[in-house]
Chains A and B, each alone.
Chain A
Amino acid sequence: MNPIGVLALQGAFREHIHMLERLGVPAQEVRKPGHLEGLAGLIIPGGESTTMGIVAERWGLVTPLRRWVREGRPTWGTCAGMILLAQQVAGQKEGGQPVIGGLDIAVNRNYFGRQVDSFEADLSVPELGAPPVRAVFIRAPAVTAVGPGVEVLATLPGQEGRPVIVAVRQGAILATAFHPELTDDLRWHRLFLQMVQEARPQVPAE
């Protein structure tokens, strides 16, 4: 298998690389546009989405990343990564922030509040089977609207019985508001690898 890239501009990229190594999959850190060549998939990790956007823009990485996603190549965003992939972002810094887009959802940054409101919870995810997965939410976003082609994979019980969407899939794009890379559970990474195997990008990788 070709390597899976992990965007290594800032944040918890090493944790994702360790998970991939545990699954015997080669991983590559992505810092510059050239690092995207020959990758089978890309993970955008947790961290600060503003920082990642600013650093990506400085070295001309935003356009190649947009092209990567538009071509239907397998991409998984966790937390900040979900924000960067969302078509609409509420709660941006003053003046907006560079984003990649391509995933037809609206997200609210820091939906659950500040760090003192951060939490862990068990999530039932039909796609992953039993038992529930432990999910760590750190100043986490939530999905506030989804387009027609978006499948909801996990929700938290919200106020007035309205579920809060925290994991979605659209074609070859996976996005989670929480951090599977901070747990020992490899099921989300296995699900992404399965998506990588099944993906048929519009432009074949060289």
Chain B
Amino acid sequence: MSQQNGSEHNGQARQGTFAVKAGLAQMLKGGVIMDVVTPEQARIAEEAGACAVMALERVPADIRSQGGVARMSDPRLIKEIMAAVTIPVMAKVRIGHFVEAQILEAIGVDYIDESEVLTPADEAHHIHKHKFRVPFVCGARDLGEALRRIAEGAAMIRTKGEAGTGNVVEAVRHARAVMGAIRRLQTMDEDEMFAYAKEIQAPYDLVQQTAELGRLPVVNFAAGGIATPADAALMMQLGVDGVFVGSGIFKSSDPARRAKAIVQAVTHYNDPQILAEISEDLGEPMVGINLDTLREEEKMAHRGW
């Protein structure tokens, strides 16, 4: 049967509402979103049980080693990946580059990542994401940054971590910063909450909503440095809703096996017996980078504001 547009079915149907945008992120929870650079890799990810793929030309580890300006991927590559799999396909745009976002919306990607992994296009403004029908995910290092992105229309948040390093330490730092801040927020009275909203430069209504919910108002994944099933389970136990794995899968020696193991680890993150079983014989993980050997200007997490 041919696919038909929802709006043609129902005069009263409303597309692109925040509930519809945030709702897809809710369906991705408990899942793994994998970076892929070819349709073949996308098929491997789907077979392994990825809940979505991120289509791009170079994984962060290669962007890091090759240098140069990193931009939105060729729409043709993204369309080929969309045609290869039935799961949702995400793609990245540069921070502030709303025309790259218009292009991705036009080709029908399911989610846009306004990403610090690419070279920023605007050093003051992020994309006004409420204007789009396609939902956005954005990176954050702390609660203030997460709530600023939500105010701009992000329907999903991910910790930034430090992409392309295979080192989970920054993802842990950022997840702990967000979760810790939410726990402190819940002990505050209203006077303190006004002062705190000002301190973290976040809209007061979102700060108040976060305190009431005891979590971010949208789904929150971990990203940036996850390379093993244990890394993925660690992030889940720290309280995130799911994980992005970038270079960690296709820069390892046995991507299909590692991808499957990380998917299982995110479902069974609280079951050490299962985690032990799936961590066996995965081959070599990506080599990884120690963060103290990276110069400050080489860190991607500082991009975005």
Contact = CB atoms under 8 A, between A and B. Distances in A.
Contacts of B8: 159
Contacts of A126: none
Contact of B4 (A13, A113, A136, A182): A113
Contacts of A90: 1
A117 B49 contact: no
A11 B219 CA distance: 11
Given A119-B20, A121-B12, A55 B4 contact: no
A138 B267 CA distance: 22
B86 A51 contact: no
Interface in A63-106: 79-80, 90-95
A79 B26 CA distance: 13
B51 A54 contact: no
B184 interface: no
Interface in B23-47: 23-24, 26-31, 43, 46-47
Interface string A96-136: 00000000000011111111111111100000000000001
Contacts of A115: 24, 88, 109-111, 134-135
How big is the B interface, by class? 35 or more
Contact of A11 (B10, B30, B274): B30
B108 interface: yes
B267 A48 contact: no
B239 to A, nearest CB: 12
Contacts of A59: 274
Contacts, number: 167
Contact of A10 (B12, B30, B110): B30
Interface in B233-251: none
A156 B9 CA distance: 7
B17 interface: yes
A114 B4 CA distance: 10
A145 to B, nearest CB: 10
B170 to A, nearest CB: 26
B27 A31 contact: no
Given A51-B263, A54-B48, A111 B3 contact: yes
Contacts of B264: 55, 58
From B9, B48, B111, B274, residue with most partner A Cβ within 10 Å: B9
B52 interface: yes
A121 B267 contact: no
Interface string A11-39: 11111000000000000000100000000
B30 A119 contact: no
Given A11-B30, A111-B3, A121-B14, 11 more contacts: A9-B30, A51-B49, A51-B50, A58-B264, A93-B85, A111-B4, A112-B5, A115-B24, A121-B6, A144-B1, A158-B4
Interface of B: 1, 3-17, 19-20, 23-24, 26-31, 43, 46-52, 84-88, 105, 108-111, 133-135, 260, 263-264, 266-268, 271, 274
